[in-house]
C-alpha cells in the first residue's frame, strides 16, 4: 500500500497539533488519583488540496452503548462512540450545515447562483416535498449567515433550567456513583469547552464561516451538491480500527484466512484464530452485548456506499475516503489487505498510509491504563465542540432513560434530522427516511452480503414531526 512521500506523517502531525491546540484540558485523559493513566483514541478527517492540508473534524472515543439502550433512546442517544465513526458523523453534520448556507444564497462563487428558488426547483424535480429553506427569512432580507446557523445549532441544546439536582447517593452501586461523579464535573467540562471556543474566536477575530473554506459546489442543472474537484479526504486514526484490521495484535502474527462460513455472532474479542469475519465492537465478556459492528467492518462497507449518511446522501453526491492513516508500529499489511481489499473488491479502494512518529500523547499503551469515558467531537470549520458521555452531552445522562432535557448531542439521529428537515422533505418516521434512498440501501445490502453474517441491531424509530 503506497504512501506519497511524507503525506501520512504530515496528516498525523496536523491532526495531533490541532487536537492539542483546541481540546480543553478538562476533556483530555489524565492521571487518576490511584495512579492509573487514562487513554483514548483520536481520529481526524483532513482535506488535501495540492500540498495544503485542512483539518475538518476531530473526535475521540472508545465506547459503544449496549443494544438495549435502543429500546428507549428515541433517537436522542448516539450509540457508536468510537472516534473514527464520531469523526465521520461530525463531518456529515458540517456538510448539511454548508448545504443550508449555500441553498440560502449565503455562499457565492461555487456555481449556485440560483439561490433559494433554484434549490427549490432542484428539490421539486427530484420529487422532494415540503421544502421550506427558510423563505420567510429571505423574503425579509434576513438571509441567515452560516454563523447564525451554527449558533442556532449550538444554543438548541444548551438551555438550562437552574442547577441540576444532585442525586442522593444512598444505596447506589459503584457504577452509579461513578456516573454521578461524572455528571457533577459535566458542567465544568462544558464551561471549559465554551471558554475555549470563545478564546479561539477571540484569537481569530470573529466566528469563522464556511465562506473561507467550502467543500461543496452545485453546478447549474445539478440536483445534488458534489465535493469540489481536487479535494481528497484522509482519515487519521491513532490506533488501527477495531475488528478484522487489528487481528494480528491478538494472534501474534495472524491466522490463515478463508471466506467465512459462520452463522453465529462473533463478539469483538472472541475467536482470534478466525479472521475475515464480521465482528461486533469489542467489550468485556461480562458486558451487555452491542450489535454495533466493528470499525473495520463499517469502514470497509464505506468503500462501497461512501461516507455520507442517510440524510446527507439526499443532498450530496457520494463522497469517498481516499486514505486511511494509521501508525506504522501497529500496522499489519496482511490484516489491512484482507479486511479492505480481499473481503470486498470495491471500486473506491482505501489506500492505507502509515506514519512513523506518533506524537499523540494519550495513545493506548498495552496492558496499562484505562479508557477515558468521555468523548470529544469538533468541527474545525466553525470551531464547534461538544463533550459526550454515554452517548449524550456530558452531565445529561440518565440511567435507562433518554437524556435530560436538551441533553442530546447535535450528532444524535433526532438532532441530525431536525438540522435537515427543511431540506429533505416530509417523511412519516425516521425509518422511512433511512430507507428512502433505494440506491444507498441496495449498495449496503450488497456489501453486507459479501462480508457474510451482519447481525442487526435493534431498530431505532421515532415520528418525524
Burial per residue of 234-261, b for 16 or more beta-carbon CB atoms within 10 angstroms, e otherwise: bbbbbbbbbbbbbbbbeeeebbebeebe
pLDDT classification of 165: cutoffs 50, 70, 90: very low
291 closest CA partner among 170, 454, 423, 130: 454
SS3 103: helix
Q: Return d(Cα 272, Cα 119) in angstroms, integer.
A: 51
Please state the rounded mean pLDDT for residues 266-273. 63
pLDDT at 39 over 50: yes
309 or 382: which leads in pLDDT: 309
Give the torsion through C-alpha atoms of 110, 440, 385, 44, to 10 deg. -90
Compute the Cα dihedral for 336, 337, 338, 343 and give only its sign: positive
What percent of the chain stands above pLDDT 90? Answer: 46
Q: Are 355 and 9 in contact (CB under 8 A)?
A: yes
pLDDT at 313 over 90: yes
Helix axes 413-424, 83-103, angle to 10 degrees: 30
Q: pLDDT tens digits for 391-449?
A: 999 888 888 888 888 899 999 999 999 999 889 888 999 999 999 888 999 999 999 88
pLDDT at 282 over 60: yes
Mean pLDDT, the chain, rounded, equals 77
Q: Return d(Cα 7, Cα 26) in angstroms, integer.
A: 31
The grid coordinates of residue 173 equal 452501586
Q: Return d(Cα 89, Cα 298) in angstroms, integer.
A: 13
Q: Return d(Cα 202, Cα 13) in angstroms, integer.
A: 25
Helix axes 146-156, 83-103, angle to 10 degrees: 130
pLDDT of residue 465: 72
pLDDT of residue 167: 36
Task: Classify residue 98 as exposed, middle or buried by CB count within 10 Å of its CB (0-12, 13-18, 19+).
Answer: buried
pLDDT at 296 over 80: yes
Please state the rounded mean pLDDT for residues 293-302. 94
Q: Are 82 and 61 in contact (CB under 8 A)?
A: yes
SS3 314: helix
pTM: 0.77
Q: Return d(Cα 325, Cα 46) in angstroms, integer.
A: 10
Place of cell 467540562: 189
CB atoms under 10 Å from CB of 21, counted, come to 9
Amino acid at each position: 500500500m503506497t504512501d506519497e512521500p511524507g503525506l501520512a506523517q504530515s496528516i498525523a502531525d496536523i491532526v495531533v497539533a490541532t487536537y492539542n491546540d483546541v481540546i480543553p484540558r478538562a476533556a483530555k485523559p489524565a492521571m487518576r488519583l490511584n495512579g492509573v493513566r487514562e487513554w483514548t483514541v483520536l481520529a481526524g478527517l483532513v482535506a488535501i488540496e495540492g500540498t495544503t492540508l485542512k483539518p475538518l473534524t476531530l473526535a475521540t472515543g472508545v465506547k459503544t452503548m449496549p443494544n438495549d439502550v435502543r429500546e428507549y433512546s428515541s433517537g436522542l442517544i448516539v450509540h457508536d462512540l468510537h472516534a473514527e465513526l464520531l469523526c465521520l458523523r461530525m463531518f456529515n453534520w458540517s456538510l448539511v450545515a454548508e448545504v443550508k448556507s449555500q441553498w440560502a444564497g449565503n455562499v457565492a462563487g461555487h456555481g449556485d447562483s440560483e439561490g433559494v428558488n433554484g434549490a427549490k426547483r432542484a428539490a421539486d424535480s427530484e420529487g422532494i416535498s415540503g421544502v421550506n429553506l427558510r423563505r420567510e427569512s429571505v423574503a425579509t432580507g434576513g438571509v441567515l449567515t452560516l454563523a447564525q446557523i451554527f449558533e442556532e445549532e449550538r444554543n438548541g441544546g444548551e438551555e438550562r433550567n437552574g442547577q441540576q439536582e444532585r442525586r442522593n447517593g444512598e444505596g447506589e452501586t459503584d457504577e452509579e456513583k461513578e456516573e454521578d461523579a461524572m455528571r457533577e464535573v459535566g458542567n465544568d467540562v462544558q464551561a471549559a469547552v465554551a471558554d475555549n471556543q470563545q478564546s479561539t474566536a477571540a484569537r481569530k477575530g470573529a466566528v469563522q464561516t464556511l465562506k473561507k473554506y467550502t467543500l461543496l459546489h452545485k453546478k447549474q442543472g445539478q440536483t445534488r451538491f458534489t465535493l469540489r474537484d481536487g479535494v481528497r479526504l484522509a482519515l487519521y486514526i491513532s490506533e488501527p480500527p477495531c475488528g478484522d484490521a487489528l487481528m494480528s495484535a491478538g494472534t501474534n502474527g495472524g491466522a490463515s484466512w478463508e471466506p467465512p462460513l459462520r452463522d453465529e455472532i462473533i463478539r469483538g474479542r472472541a475467536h482470534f484464530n478466525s479472521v475475515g469475519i464480521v465482528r461486533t465492537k469489542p467489550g468485556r465478556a461480562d458486558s451487555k452485548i452491542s450489535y454495533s459492528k466493528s470499525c473495520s467492518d463499517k469502514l470497509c462497507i464505506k468503500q462501497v456506499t461512501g461516507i455520507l449518511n442517510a440524510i446527507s446522501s439526499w443532498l450530496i453526491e457520494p463522497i469517498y475516503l481516499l486514505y486511511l492513516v494509521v501508525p506504522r508500529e501497529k500496522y499489519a499489511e496482511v490484516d489491512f489487505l484482507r479486511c479492505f481489499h480481499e473481503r470486498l473488491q470495491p471500486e473506491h479502494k482505501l489506500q492505507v498510509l502509515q506514519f512513523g512518529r506518533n506524537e499523540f500523547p494519550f495513545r493506548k499503551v498495552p496492558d496499562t491504563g484505562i479508557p477515558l469515558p468521555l468523548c470529544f467531537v469538533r468541527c474545525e470549520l466553525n470551531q464547534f465542540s461538544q463533550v459526550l458521555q454515554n452517548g449524550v452531552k456530558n452531565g445529561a445522562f440518565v440511567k435507562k432513560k433518554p437524556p435530560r432535557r436538551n441533553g442530546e448531542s447535535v450528532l444524535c439521529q433526532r438532532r441530525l434530522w431536525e438540522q435537515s428537515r427543511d431540506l429533505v422533505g416530509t417523511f412519516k418516521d425516521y425509518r422511512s427516511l433511512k430507507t428512502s434512498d433505494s440506491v444507498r440501501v441496495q449498495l449496503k445490502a450488497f456489501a453486507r452480503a459479501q462480508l457474510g453474517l451482519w447481525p442487526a441491531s435493534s431498530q431505532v424509530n421515532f415520528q418525524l414531526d
